[in-house]
Amino acid sequence: MVNKKIFDKLYEKPHDWNDEFYECIKDLVTHPVVLRMKMYPHHGNTNCFEHCMNVAYYNYQWCRFLHLDARSAARGGMLHDMFLYDWHTHAKRTGDNFHGLTHPREAYRNATKFFALNRIEKDIILNHMWPLTILRFPKTREGFIATISDKFCGACETSRRG
């Protein structure tokens, strides 16, 4: 039998969570460089900005529910794919055929140019491609949640192409 308190908690969604989420990332989503992510297609009909917003939102919700650092999870999610190029044409232009392995470092470099990152945000950006990047395992619980959010959002975005 499922504990009623746990069940009720799963389906309770305080109204202020969305306002709190936006407050966490407001400075990021209004920054001109972050807004450039809208120019780059990502999964299906989703652009890089939208994908990062989706990941940030799920990171925030899960981490808030689990009493983790939801603010850092949201911010790391918003910056995790800040590589600032179209990965669909990247290999042809640059010869880098390993975007899946190399883009976390590029996103991290770009993010640190404009924002001070804490250790959780760094972990999310650098390690969100695990398990593809076998040796880059998330070191924080928030980072592990970000890997799941990223895969979930990517799958949803890719499946609704129309």
pLDDT along the chain (162 residues), means of 10: 46 63 92 88 80 93 96 96 65 57 83 96 90 77 95 82 48
Does residue 89 lie within any of the structural domains?
A: no
Does residue 124 lie within any of the structural domains?
A: yes
Does residue 90 lie within any of the structural domains?
A: no
Distance CA 110, CA 66 (A): 29
Give residue 45's pLDDT: 79
Does residue 1 lie within any of the structural domains?
A: no
Give residue 2's pLDDT: 42
Domain membership of residue 64 as a residue range: 17-80+95-159
Does residue 33 lie within any of the structural domains?
A: yes
Give residue 64's pLDDT: 94
Does residue 88 lie within any of the structural domains?
A: no
Does residue 128 lie within any of the structural domains?
A: yes
Could you give the number of structural domains in the chain? Answer: 1
Give residue 3's pLDDT: 46
Contact yes or no for 81/149 (Cβ under 8 A): no
Kindly tell me the sign of the dihedral angle through the C-alpha atoms of 116, 149, 27, 160: positive
